[in-house]
Amino acid sequence: MLYSLLLVFLLPALGIPFVYFGGKKSSKIAASIVALIAIINIALVLTTVPTILNSANHMYIEEYAWIPVLNSHFTLFVDGISVSIAIIAMVLIVAAALFSIKYMEGKKNLPVYYVLLSLLSVGLVGVFLTSNLLLFYFCWELMLLPAYFIIGSWGYRESYRAAFKFFIFTHAGAVFVLLGIGAIYMITGTTDLFAAQTALLSFPELAKWIIIALTAGFAVKMAIVPLHMWLPDAHSEAPATMSALLSGVIISAGAYAILRLSLGAVFPAVAGTEFGTSFLHGLAVFGVISAFFGAFIALVENDIKRIIAYSSIAHMGYVLFGLSLYPSEPLIGGALAITTAITGTVFHILTHAVSKGLLFLSAGAVMHQTELRDIREMGGLAGKMPFTSTSAIIAGLSIAGSPPFACFISEFLIFVGAFDIIRTNSFYLVPTILMLLATVFSLAYSLRFVYRIFIAPPKPGTTLDGNEKHKITDVPNSMKIAMLILIIFVVLLGVYPAFFINLINTVGFI
């Protein structure tokens, strides 16, 4: 469909007045408009899939005149990777909007909340839909402001403190991203990702500094150790809907950006060099550190949302390890056949997004119904909140990498790809063994989370030990529908991953 991606980019922005004035009448109207726009955008993005699968370059591109003085075009594009992540991002937006109807009920300034959610969706989706570096940076920063105000205005205890920490860290990372993009333009004279990739092949020494700057900036958004400090506080204080988007999409955008810009555009200039090999090995080391750090803290943390937040750090470690398996040999004409490891890494971005989004919504449901957040004060909720407990168990088992749920397939593909690479690069033997060990700890903290909240009997003397101030029931239907949407994706991606894996495998790397 002509103008499909332009409409995807513009509809959430053009819908803002309708969201605001609809929200003045009813927050349900505002939430429904946000969800409806996201559903329309999913349909629009899906219209590009036949072109991606059948065209020679496996891409769908729209180009519009924009800034002639910079020779910069408003270029929107999708391939198998970006279209897959964009679809999952919009699914999470639908779920967040529907969950908000009851979850945010009674809160102040809800029309503004839904406007910010709509504005956030522009930045979230825009990052995955453009090959213009200036437009990419615009969307990258556009994610920041709505998220800051949502965390600060509708968070819990010290919400603005956590929001400010999130703003400072991620904006500092954005400075490095801007330096890298500026250097690319200075060297190549273009803001187009594809043109820059070819031009940078002639500047391997400068490319080293560009890839370091870009990766450092994106690693902040991914919350890779030691740049993770903003994430536990932001998750802990944010509304559950914002946490689902933070963990499901925003930190995943950092992983996508490393793959698309650092590795896809800049790395070919240093591929096959000692620096290129060391760079990939460095990603593996930081991935292992993040996986273990996040898992260990999640094992001892008692705040229901901070457990999941540290789990996100651990799983970004899996993703960074997967990205380190990017082929290190020089590319021919910038083309590269996608490997099993990279397929698994991209798929893990998708599976982690829906699984962690579901887990955060489940945690939000528990907090909403019990008014508790310390898991030591919980227990026995499976009988009182059967739908929420089922939702949390499915999400927890997926995060733990248990079949037949989504994350099992993606982790399996990453490890298969890792063992393929070990045959020719023995460095990866130890990191791969360590990452396999990290999956044991993922299972441990996931089972602890589920058991302590839903299965174990309440601790004597705690609020839920037969002394509830009010009878605890399961969540309202609108919240159940939001969780059900994500349950379907967590199960479907686990038992039938073919649609997205086939899309990802069409990529011949930018």
Helix-strand-coil split of the chain, %, nearest 5: 75, 5, 20
Place of tokens 């239907």: 477
**DSSP code for 247:** I
Helix/strand/coil for 92: helix
Q: Among candidates 319, 182, 313, 308, which has minimal Cα distance to 263?
A: 319
In the chain, the N- to C-terminal Cα span, in Å, equals 23
Q: Among candidates 506, 484, 508, which has minimal Cα distance to 84?
A: 506
pLDDT tens for the chain, 510 residues long, are 568 889 998 999 999 999 999 989 988 999 999 999 999 999 999 999 999 998 888 889 888 888 887 777 888 888 899 999 999 999 999 999 999 999 998 888 899 999 999 999 998 888 999 889 999 999 998 888 899 999 988 888 788 888 899 899 988 999 999 999 999 999 988 888 888 888 888 898 999 999 999 999 999 999 899 988 899 988 888 898 998 998 888 899 999 999 999 998 899 888 888 998 999 999 999 999 999 999 999 999 999 999 999 999 999 999 999 999 988 765 544 445 578 899 999 999 999 999 999 999 999 999 988 888 888 888 888 888 999 999 999 999 999 989 899 999 999 999 999 999 998 888 999 999 999 999 999 999 999 999 999 998 887 766 676 655 557 888 899 999 999 999 999 999 999 999 999 999 887 554
Gap between the Cα atoms of 351 and 398, Å rounded: 8
Q: What is the CA radius of gyration of the chain?
A: 22
Neighbouring residues of 4: CB distance < 8 A, sequence distance ≥ 6: 44, 45, 47, 48, 60, 62
CB 47 within 8 A of CB 7: no
CB 449 within 8 A of CB 375: yes
Predicted local distance difference test score (pLDDT) of residue 339: 83
Q: Give domain status of residue 233, yes or no.
A: yes
Predicted local distance difference test score (pLDDT) of residue 458: 81
Across the strands, what pairs with 192?
Answer: 132
Helix/strand/coil for 66: strand
Predicted local distance difference test score (pLDDT) of residue 215: 95
Gap between the Cα atoms of 203 and 33, Å rounded: 48
Inter-CA distances, 382 with 310, 363, 389, Å: 24, 13, 5
pTM for this one? 0.93
Residue 108 sits at φ, ψ, to 5 deg, of -80, 155
Across the strands, what pairs with 60?
Answer: 78
Q: Give domain status of residue 143, yes or no.
A: yes
Segment (H or E) for 65: strand 60-67
> Residue 50, preceding bond cis, omega within 30 degrees?
no
Question: What would the two tokens of residue 1 be?
Answer: 């469909």
| Domain range enclosing 304 | 4-505
Segment (H or E) for 72: strand 72-78
Q: Among candidates 1, 59, 42, 4, which has minimal Cα distance to 503?
A: 59
CB 413 within 8 A of CB 486: no
CB 58 within 8 A of CB 508: yes
**Beta-carbon count within 10 A of 68 CB:** 8
Q: Which amino acid is at 307?
A: I
Q: Give domain status of residue 379, yes or no.
A: yes
Q: Give domain status of residue 374, yes or no.
A: yes
Q: Which amino acid is at 92?
A: L
CA angle 340, 342, 348 (to 5 degrees): 100
Q: Give domain status of residue 396, yes or no.
A: yes
Tell how far CA 95 is from the center of its chain.
14
CB 265 within 8 A of CB 302: no
Gap between the Cα atoms of 221 and 258, Å rounded: 10
CB 233 within 8 A of CB 165: yes
Q: Give domain status of residue 413, yes or no.
A: yes
**DSSP code for 69:** G
DSSP string, 144-204: HHHHHHHHHHH-SSSHHHHHHHHHHHHHHHHHHHHHHHHHHHHHHS--BHHHHHHHHTT-H
Gap between the Cα atoms of 129 and 139, Å rounded: 10
Predicted local distance difference test score (pLDDT) of residue 466: 60
Neighbouring residues of 254: CB distance < 8 A, sequence distance ≥ 6: 218, 219, 220, 221, 222, 223, 316
CB 52 within 8 A of CB 78: yes
Q: Give domain status of residue 510, yes or no.
A: no
Q: Give domain status of residue 352, yes or no.
A: yes
CA angle 255, 259, 265 (to 5 degrees): 140
Q: Which residues of 141-153 are buried (b: 16+ CB within 10 A; e: fewer)?
A: ebbbebbbbbbbb
Gap between the Cα atoms of 284 and 5, Å rounded: 35
Neighbouring residues of 493: CB distance < 8 A, sequence distance ≥ 6: 347, 350, 351, 354, 406, 409, 500
The total number of structural domains in the chain stands at: 1
Inter-CA distances, 354 with 243, 364, 370, 395, 447, Å: 12, 15, 24, 8, 19
Gap between the Cα atoms of 349 and 339, Å rounded: 16
**Beta-carbon count within 10 A of 383 CB:** 10
